[in-house]
Amino acid sequence: MNMRSIKLTKLDTAYFANAQFLPVDLAGIVSEAKAVDDGTRLLTIDNATAERFRDEFTMRLAKVGFGADYEPTREGKLLEDLIDRFGDEK
């Protein structure tokens, strides 16, 4: 099973703490992410779990990620960044 590490910023961590859209198991994975000295967290997950996170981020992005002018909202920009970081490793 391929594992990957994803660094979560302080902003990411605060966002997840208030995010009600993640399923309980995924929210639990985030809450158990290893704290790093600089205030970030390191999330170590397998590819299938990363894809589940991406699916949740993508659904949330479709609901709240764009303003009336179809420009990404602040939350939308954060979600786009998370989608990229949880994407397939090259």
Tell me the per-residue pLDDT of 18-62, one tens digit each, with 9 for 90 and over.
889 999 999 999 999 999 988 899 999 999 999 999 999 999 999
pLDDT of residue 2: 87
Amino acid at the residue 85: R
Question: CA of 32: how far to CAs of 14, 61, 70, 80, 85, in Å?
Answer: 14, 24, 35, 23, 18
Measure the CA–CA gap between 10 and 62, rounded to whole angstroms.
24
**Confidence class for position 90, pLDDT limits 50, 70, 90:** very low
- 72 neighbors 82 (Cβ within 8 angstroms): no
Residue 8 · residue 36 · CB < 8 Å: no
State the average pLDDT for the chain.
Answer: 93
90 vs 19: CA distance, rounded Å: 28
